[in-house]
Amino acid sequence: MKVVHTRAELAAARAAESGRAVALVPTMGALHRGHRHLFDRAHENPSAALYVSIFVNPLQFGPAEDLAHYPRPIADDLDMCAAAAADVVFAPSVEELYRGGTPAVTVHAGPLGDILEGRSRPGHYDGVLTVVAKLFNLVRPDTAYFGQKDAQQLVLIRRMVRDLDYPLEIAGVATVRDEDGLALSSRNRYLSPAERGHALALSRALRAGQAAAPHGAAAVLDDARAVLAGTPQLQLDYLELIDADTFDPLDPQTGRGLLLVAARVGGTRLIDNVTLELGALPERADGMYSKET
């Protein structure tokens, strides 16, 4: 495994592939089993070289967010990349990637960047798309892999690739969960044992919503909300049900939906989502099932 820190080293590694396909997994480090799953998915194309980028991107952090404290366990991260048989790890410094300082020209995520996560984190997705565009330009991958856990990020990256004609495929990879249901996230390490217990209400609420899906959108939201209300230690930011493919509002009774939740547990903000199929059964009477499941 080659570890490269500069554009020049990366370009040399990339040139040495001479025609071999390249799979890229962009990360901010603090790697966990969810990332390992992305690496393994990338290896499903046995002829592709696996490139992993590790870069904590300042552009996607708001002024009140945890940039300075974001975990950077680089030795452990490199061990995980080696264990996953990565071919190249690109770990640039901020100065190397943003060599002209804060960029004046950036990618704008458009209206989809202003809803849900974007409403709570203004500019976040502009920062994400800008760094992802730079990584695509520098690495020139054939396929890039992103987790479904940040569903809005995934849909925006697909949109950028389509709208700006990036010549690569985007692969979405299912969320990996701990046995108790908690979606894996680099931020889970901030949770105390008690907070971790409270955080489980997020996946429980999503499962309750999923179970109610045959009865339509009102039942989904009703049951998911009831679970969240049972954990007052969660500060709910949003619980929303939208069209899974377009992120548009959903016909209340039918269609493939995406149920998304974001909440703060102590000082840690967590997000999660599940897809569901609405509408095989009749709508329920209002409030009938408004109890914790």
Residues marked as catalytic: 35
User: 164 CB contacts (<8 Å, ≥6 apart)?
Assistant: 107, 133
Looking at the Cβ atoms of 25 and 241, the one nearer to ligand PAF is 25
In a 3-state reduction of DSSP, which class is residue 120?
helix
- Contacts to ligand PAF from residues 134-193, by CB under 6 A: 150, 153
Closest to 60 (Cα-Cα) out of 156, 182, 191, 139: 156
Looking at the Cβ atoms of 27 and 148, the one nearer to ligand PAF is 27
Closest to 53 (Cα-Cα) out of 71, 37, 29, 73: 29
Cα–Cα distance measured from residue 116 to residue 243, given in angstroms and rounded to the nearest whole number: 13
Which stretch in 104-112, 127-135, 229-237, 246-254 sits in contact with ligand PAF by CB under 6 A? 127-135
Cα–Cα distance measured from residue 165 to residue 154, given in angstroms and rounded to the nearest whole number: 16
Q: Residues 26-55: x/- map of binding to ligand PAF (CB under 6 A)?
A: xxx---------------------------
CB neighbours (10 Å) of residue 50? 24
Shortest separation between residue 181's beta carbon and ligand PAF, angstroms: 21
CB neighbours (10 Å) of residue 8? 10
Cα–Cα–Cα angle for 160, 161, 164, nearest 5°? Answer: 70
Told to check if 131 binds ligand PAF by CB under 6 A, we report: yes
Q: Binding ligand PAF by CB under 6 A: which of 49, 84, 132, 250? A: 132
Told to check if 220 binds ligand PAF by CB under 6 A, we report: no
Shortest separation between residue 107's beta carbon and ligand PAF, angstroms: 12
**DSSP state for residue 73 in the 8-state scheme:** -
- Contacts to ligand PAF from residues 8-27, by CB under 6 A: 26-27
3-state secondary structure 125-144: HHHHHHHHHHHHHHHCCCEE
Q: Binding ligand PAF by CB under 6 A: which of 128, 208, 219, 224? A: 128
Looking at the Cβ atoms of 150 and 223, the one nearer to ligand PAF is 150
Q: Are 231 and 264 in contact (CB under 8 A)?
A: no
Shortest separation between residue 278's beta carbon and ligand PAF, angstroms: 28
Told to check if 130 binds ligand PAF by CB under 6 A, we report: no
Total residues at interface with ligand PAF (CB under 6 A): 10
Which stretch in 128-136, 201-209, 251-259, 284-292 sits in contact with ligand PAF by CB under 6 A? 128-136
Tokens of 103: 């960029």
Tokens of 206: 């999503």
- Contacts to ligand PAF from residues 59-88, by CB under 6 A: 60
Binding-site ranges for ligand PAF (CB under 6 A): 26-28, 57, 60, 128, 131-132, 150, 153
